[in-house]
Amino acid sequence: MGDVVFKDDAQEPEAGERQIDIWLRQDVVPAYDAYRTDPSRVAPLSDAVNRIRKRQRAPSVKA
C-alpha cells in the first residue's frame, strides 16, 4: 500500500476526498488491473485469513 495518510479534516473535506482519489489511483487501480491481467497470481482469501490468524497467535517481540 502507498504512503497516503487519511486525516479527519473537518475544515477541508475536499482534502480527504483528494487523499482517497490518490489512494485509489496509486494503489487500488494498479492492483485491480494486475488481478484482471493474471487472476492466478491472487492468493485465496482463506490463505490471507490463515496468515493473519497465525500472526495474531505469534508472541510479540519487543526491542
- Say what the pLDDT of residue 13 is: 75
Higher pLDDT pick, 5 / 52: 52
Judge contact between 2 and 24, C-beta under 8 A.
no
In this prediction, residue 3 has a pLDDT band, given cuts at 50, 70 and 90, of: low
**Percent over 70 (pLDDT), the chain:** 78
Give yes or no for residue 8 having a pLDDT over 60: no
Judge contact between 59 and 45, C-beta under 8 A.
no
Residue 25: name the closest of 50, 52, 2 by CA. Answer: 2
In this prediction, residue 12 has a pLDDT band, given cuts at 50, 70 and 90, of: confident
Give yes or no for residue 15 having a pLDDT over 70: yes
Judge contact between 4 and 23, C-beta under 8 A.
yes
